[in-house]
Chain A
């Protein structure tokens, strides 16, 4: 097959599929071949869903041939983080040895919706065990091996916990993938792998069939090559679901039209003071680029304990979600030494403190909206540093600064998209994120698209993969 389709955005692929210049079956076979040849290099894959993929691809081929075109994802291969339930005996491992044989007799709502959109599920992709809910210090934290970014001369971490979705998209193995974020798990792999990753508003996408880490923080979202693709995929994923009472009662219609007015962007004060030199330089350069299309001003959030609130909620909900597992003693089977005992401390979160965190959460939501309502987006580095070498502890780098954007965005359930904005230390990608007010995905996507129209970072791909 013509290899020019590798690293082609979903929007362009979809047009080639619609006009029958590309066959869904041949495109799926190419993806399956790359899953086998490249997947192990990055520890990106848990299960290749070959039979299901080829069946879905043949159906897509027949439907498109009969002019029954479903939309831009019809016939496009994709992978999902291995915490989304899949039927047909396909394991859903949650990235953890004690769950390697786990199967479900239903598909997660997101998987079902993407099937209805005509997309082709080719793989269950690697992840940090239990989505990092037990805590972890090093990239080697799952039975499938440390997730590795396709970028850089030495092996560096793909980011977590959606490591496989990040590296598989970055390596041109799949055109898009689905990840999840409780606190950083979409934006971090997007940053480390040099791709786009969208964390939708909490409730925008049904969580039914996804492993629960923290019921009030978990979100599902796409990882793609471009911001525009993230909008296309989000439209297919989003919408009401009677199986998830937190799913909002409206569909999402992506608006890809460019705006003619200048954007208004906010930048949090002192945000980069502890960032690496490469991150700081690339962020500064990105702001200069954005000044072509946006008015940018410094902004401050009220002084609230964002990290403490988010962490307290996460700790308490995880301790409940995995209480039986923690009591079972099976934590000894986990891959990372830290995760084997990391969660025991969480039994000590007091009910009154959890409730207090939920009360402050309301205050944070209102405070954040007061600020965000004045802007199309708040802009910030996606991470304060480039990817960690796989033989180093993550906390030595992540612990250098508080993640205010991540804490506010996740506890208040706000959408944010990360796109690449250059290369920093060791030739590794850096990212810039655009966070908007709740249900403001179109605003964040619009700014990100404009930034990508002015730069070519998203058109650069790891060498030697075509």
Chain B
């Protein structure tokens, strides 16, 4: 390991990163406890609240492994603790990798650990942070006013006879989100012949359809919390098989 990587992976940096992440974890814990207690006081079913927690945990576990792979990929050049920090807070892999590259280019370098120095690393880290904090700043300074505005609009709409458009808009937005990803895989297949993402998505959708059938028609309610995670695992196993066979 060169001197740069030894420093970039030093204990001091691990400790700084761990302290920040512990603080963020504390934030999450406090919000879980507060919202759980509030839910109970509001008369919500405790089992429903527990279901929200378990389903979120199972849902997140597998995609988190792919984020871990991003940590490994970025860690080769930025050191493990910095990529651990960057992929645990704000941003996402696509953003971090692009911005790290732009920042390295700004110093007439490429993102290569044999060329980088600690001066470059701290500069890259500052660029990555300043580039992405705007959503946080907007939240800190405007969220209260913004949510009040949304709330008042909803009240006005409720006064009319029409059902609220809000729920329809939420579903439409999420359909748009899924279509952006799935359409991207289909076009990538048509334009570049990349087929594995399409096959994976298709298998996952079919398995999910089967689970929905079992939940709704065969009343196997215990599947509800795990249907998504299981669909993903089965689709990913199918991806391995297809990549070997095709």
Our verdict on whether A and B bind, yes or no, reads no
Residues of A within 8 A of B (CB): none
